[in-house]
Structures are given as structure tokens and as C-alpha cells.
Amino acid sequence: TPRPFNQLPGEWRAGWLNLYRFWQEGGLNNVHHIMARKFQQFGPIYREKLGVYESVNIISPRDAATLFQAEGTLPERFSVPPWVAYRDFRNKPYGVLLKTGEAWRSDRLMLNKEVLSPQVVEGFVPLLSQVGEDFIRRARAQVEKSGREHWTADFTHELFRFALESVCHVLYGERLGLLQDFVDPDAQRFIDAVSLMFHTTSPMLYLPPALLRHLNTKTWRDHVQAWDAIFSQADKCIQNVYRDLRLQRKSTKEYMGILCNLIMRDKLPLDDIRASVTEMMAGGVDTTSMTLQWAMFELARAPGVQEQLRAEVLAAKREAAGDRVKMLKTIRLLKAAIKETLRLHPVAVTLQRYTTQEVILQDYCIPPKTLVQVGLYAMGRDPEVFPKPEQFRPQRWLAAGPKHFQGLSFGFGPRQCLGRRIAELEMQLFLMQILENFKIETMRAVEIGTKFDLILIPDKPIYLTLRPL
Ligand code: HEM
Ligand code: 2DC
């Protein structure tokens, strides 16, 4: 018979003491390393308590499968307390990110139709390619300007602008013009606000929402200010589209954007549309841009892999006569390279679900309503799951053999990432276009680690060189 819950290994008795120790050893920026160490110490399952939050942590794909297969139709993940606290404090509506139960489900089903369904997604290709082409044009101009036949820089901010431009093009059907020399200060403020919002979340991650609102710390005030800027900028964009739609300034011939289509369907209240569109706009900046930065870094360090990908892309281009939709169907290795990037550099340190029924994990009984976390970062670097995990080897995803619950970077099931298809397309098209035009290089000597800043990001600037082919 399975072992009882109380016998799980781990430190789960003294929540506040654990939180204090965690804070003292610099845990805030090292959640991913601490988890990896705990799996070493306790094995493939451990129980933990930080502040008021208790969880069970797992690392194996098999356990992840058990967890997700029991998640039911209304899956819930850990609700990030400062995000909830902000919305309650300002009386802002929740979007799908924070809604639960049937309210989440009905919004999510409507959104899926306009954001995830294969038919709609194909329509994003021209919009996202266009932004990619602008990035290439800009990169060429920068090469020109340098007078040195290459462009070397920390691309963080360039990629933030690329990512915001991309997600806004599909959301609003309009260009912001962020890849020009002049950048709209409002857009820049939005980008800075999203980074600040993530950055100020992690120190408050393990404190209950009710406490946060009454704690008038600098972190909380900065957090509120960041969300205020995010909501007000998103509102401006949304109002613009709404006005254009009412004045019939939108041409119904071309694709009008996700927001327009949601409004015209008239199935969701405008406030709910606004809340979720705001979340998508904010969710579309740091996630894809950081992943692209990591991808270029890995390709720069593995010139052989880079050449293989370039050969694949150029062959696909020839065969499809430049038709991007067709090209996307044949670039298997490039897609694997993105998966491989996210294995080593996931955006989310864990995936989480509350159990709804009793499940058995590693032969322990886990009762209903337990928060279970899949250690995504730890799994990606576990040699039991991925042999020679430190090697960047996209081919591993194409080799024969089971890949059951190994590629979980966007989560799983009905609650998986809403922006998944946008993110994937945006990254595939960007990398295709870069590979067609530039060689990616980096200084080999610099080791880059990972830092937890709510999402996982590089711990120091990455300098990359783009050299025209
Ligand atoms: C949720 C990853 C890009 C919007 C999530 C989750 C993960 C994730 C792991 C939780 C899924 C789960 O619990 O099963 C990523 C990665 C990205 C990315 C790796 C890019 C590399 C985006 C983009 C958008 C977005 C571009 C916006 C268009 C969202 C939203 C949710 C979510 C709204 C919450 C969905 C819900 O609760 O129903 N993402 N994401 N993400 N993501 Fe993303
Ligand atoms: C952070 O312990 C660590 O995609 C916590 O686009 C558990 C946790 C819960 C939810 C995760 C979060 C972590 C990391 C960031 C995620 C988030 C769910 C969605 C969000 C993964 C792992 C993200 C980045 C969204 C953000 C949208 C937002 C800006 C409106």
C-alpha cells in the first residue's frame, strides 16, 4: 500500500522559519538552484513549506503525467499573491491568468478560438513575419552604422521591443513602430513596467495577498505602480481599437487582430476581454524575448548546430518558394531547437496544479487540494531524463523513443499557456529570418548563469554578434 502523506521527505513543519532561512541564503534569485539541490537531497519528491504556502515538489515526467492526467476540466495553478493583491487593491477585473472555476473556463474557451485555434493562428504568420523583416532591416542598418560589418550588442532591449511589436500586431492588428530609431516613450514605459512588475513580484511571492496590501513597503508601491502603468497603456491601445471599430475605420478585408474579433463575436463582456488582452500584452514581452536571446546564445556557442539549422531553413525556403506558411511545416530541427532552448532555459521555474482528488506520486498518497509543483528547470537538467543535459542538442527531440511529458515548457492541458501559438510562431519566424541573413556569434569565454526574477532570466548581459552572411 502507498505510504502516507505525513512521511514525505522535506522541511514542511516550520513555514516562517524556512522562509527566513530561504531569504537569508539569497533564495529569492535562486529558487531554481535551491529546488535542484533539494531534489538531490531528498530524491524525486519532497514536501516543503515557505511562509503560509505548502507544496509537494516532483521532478519526473511520469509523476508529471500522473498529476496532469488527474487535473480535471478546471485546473488551477498557484495564484501569484502580489498579482491577486494588486487587482483587489485597485478593483481591477481578473483575466484568465487569475480567474478560477467556471468563470475561467468560459473566458478561456472563447479566447482559445481567437488565439490558439490552428485556423486563426495561420493568419498570424504574415503579421509576425512583417515584424521579423523589420528587425532584419534594422539589424542591417546597425551593421551599416557600425562601419565594421557586424552588429555586436546586448540585444535585451531590442528584443523587448521586437516582442511587444509582435504581440501588439496580432492583438490589435496595428503596428506600434518600435523597430524604428524613434521609440514611443509610452511603449518604452510599458516595457519597463512589465520588467519592474516581474522584478517586484518575487520578493513578495510567499506572502499572503491580504498582508501585502497592508504592507506599505517600497516593493509593494513599485509593484502597484508597475501594474498601473501596464493597465493604463493597455487600456489606451484597447480604446484605440474600440474607437476605430465603432467609426468603422477598420477594413474588414485584412485580419483585424484578436481584440477586434473578440469584440465583434460579442460573446464576452468587454471588461473580461480587456482584462485578458491586457494580460496577453504584458505576457508577450519578456517571455519570448528572453527565450530568443537564449536561443541565439546557444546557437552562437554551437556553430555546427547553427549551420544545420541554416541549411534546413534555406532548403525549406527554396522548396516553398519563400511561402512562410509552407516553410513552417518543414523546419523540424528549428522547432526542436526552440524546445531544446526552453529545456535548458525555461521561462517558468515550475508548473503547478492543485490536486482535485487523491493521487499517488512516488508511492506516496497526495490528498486533494494539495499544491503540487513540477520542477521544470530541475527536470530539464536531470541526466535521468535528458542524457548529457548540459549539451545543447536539438536532435534529441527528433530521435526515436518516448518523449512522454518531457516537453512541458508551455505547461499542459486546458490551462496551458494561452500565448503558446503566438510565442512559437513569433520565435520560429524570427529565428528563420535571422538564420537566413546573419551568422550569430558570441564570445565563448563568458559563462552565463540563470537568475530567478519571477521568470528565469540570464544573470548577466549576453553580448551577441550578428554578421551578414
Ligand atoms: C500561462 C509559459 C509566452 C500568456 C503560461 C504558463 C507557462 C507559460 C508555463 C502556465 C501554464 C500551465 O499552468 O500549464 C510561456 C512561455 C512563453 C510564453 C515559455 C514564451 C516563450 C506567452 C505569451 C503570452 C502568454 C506570448 C501572451 C500572448 C499567458 C497567459 C497564461 C500563460 C495569459 C495564463 C493562461 C491561463 O491561466 O488560462 N505561460 N508563456 N504567454 N501564458 Fe505564457
Ligand atoms: C513563478 O512559485 C514562481 O507565462 C511561482 O506570460 C510559481 C509560478 C506561478 C505562475 C507562473 C510563474 C511561477 C512564472 C510566470 C508565469 C506564471 C504563469 C504565467 C506567467 C509562467 C512559475 C507567464 C510569464 C505569463 C505572465 C502574464 C502576466 C504578465 C500578465
Helix (H, G, I), strand (E, B) or coil at 74: coil
- pLDDT of 409 strictly over 90: yes
- pLDDT of 296 strictly over 90: yes
Q: Other CB atoms closer than 10 Å to residue 447's CB: what's the count?
A: 7
Nearest CA to ligand 2 atom 13: 348
Rounded Cα distance between 392 and 414, Å, is 30
DSSP 88-100: HHHTPPP-TTT--
State residue 318's pLDDT score: 96
Predicted confidence (pLDDT) per residue in 198-251, tens digit: 999 999 999 888 888 888 889 999 999 999 999 999 999 999 999 988 888 777
Rounded Cα distance between 227 and 232, Å, is 8
Q: How far is the CA of 275 from the centre of ligand 1 (A)?
A: 15
Rounded Cα distance between 45 and 23, Å, is 22
State residue 63's pLDDT score: 98
Average pLDDT for 308-330: 96
The secondary structure of residue 29, as a DSSP letter, is G
Nearest CA to ligand 2 atom 14: 348
pTM over 0.90: yes
State residue 216's pLDDT score: 84
Q: How far is the CA of 283 from the centre of ligand 1 (A)?
A: 7
Helix (H, G, I), strand (E, B) or coil at 48: strand
Tell whether ligand 1 has an atom less than 6 A from the beta carbon of residue 283.
Answer: yes
State residue 62's pLDDT score: 97
Q: How far is the CA of 376 from the centre of ligand 2 (A)?
A: 13
Q: How far is the CA of 348 from the centre of ligand 2 (A)?
A: 6
State residue 94's pLDDT score: 97
Predicted confidence (pLDDT) per residue in 335-347, tens digit: 999 999 999 999 9
Nearest CA to ligand 1 atom 30: 418
Q: How far is the CA of 354 from the centre of ligand 2 (A)?
A: 15
**HEC profile of 433-467:** HHHHHEEEEECCCCCCCEEEECEEEECCCCEEEEE
Mutate to test the pocket of ligand 1, among 167, 417, 429, 457 (most ligand atoms within 8 A of CB): 417
* ipTM for the whole complex: 0.99
Mutate to test the pocket of ligand 2, among 31, 48, 78, 192 (most ligand atoms within 8 A of CB): 78
The C-alpha cell at 438 is 546573419
Q: How far is the CA of 377 from the centre of ligand 1 (A)?
A: 16
How far is C-alpha 15 from the chain's CA centre? 29
Q: How far is the CA of 207 from the centre of ligand 2 (A)?
A: 16
The C-alpha cell at 110 is 472563447
Q: Which residues contact 458 (CB under 8 A, 6 or more apart)?
A: 290, 293, 294, 297, 448, 449, 450, 451
- pLDDT of 27 strictly over 90: no
- pLDDT of 444 strictly over 80: no
Average pLDDT for 374-394: 97
Predicted confidence (pLDDT) per residue in 87-120, tens digit: 999 999 999 999 999 999 999 999 999 999 999 9
Rounded Cα distance between 63 and 432, Å, is 35
State residue 250's pLDDT score: 72
Q: Is 170 or 214 the better-scoring residue by pLDDT?
A: 170
- pLDDT of 253 strictly over 80: no
Q: How many CA atoms lie within 13 A of 224 on its CB side?
A: 17
> pLDDT-derived band of residue 74, with 50, 70 and 90 as boundaries?
very high
The C-alpha cell at 124 is 498570424
State residue 143's pLDDT score: 97
- Tell how many helices (H) and how many strands (E) occur in the chain: 19, 12
Whether residue 74 contacts residue 107, with contact meaning beta carbons closer than 8 Å, is answered with: no
State residue 392's pLDDT score: 98
Tell whether ligand 2 has an atom less than 6 A from the beta carbon of residue 350.
Answer: yes
The closest ligand to the CA of 427 turns out to be 1
Q: How far is the CA of 410 from the centre of ligand 1 (A)?
A: 6
Residue with cell 528547470: 377
State residue 379's pLDDT score: 98
Mutate to test the pocket of ligand 2, among 32, 350, 351 (most ligand atoms within 8 A of CB): 350
Tell whether ligand 2 has an atom less than 6 A from the beta carbon of residue 418.
Answer: no
The closest ligand to the CA of 294 turns out to be 1
Tell whether ligand 2 has an atom less than 6 A from the beta carbon of residue 456.
Answer: no
Q: How far is the CA of 252 from the centre of ligand 2 (A)?
A: 35
Rounded Cα distance between 29 and 451, Å, is 5
State residue 107's pLDDT score: 97
Q: Are strands 371-375 and 438-442 parallel, antiparallel or unpaired?
A: unpaired
> pLDDT-derived band of residue 314, with 50, 70 and 90 as boundaries?
very high
Average pLDDT, the chain: 95
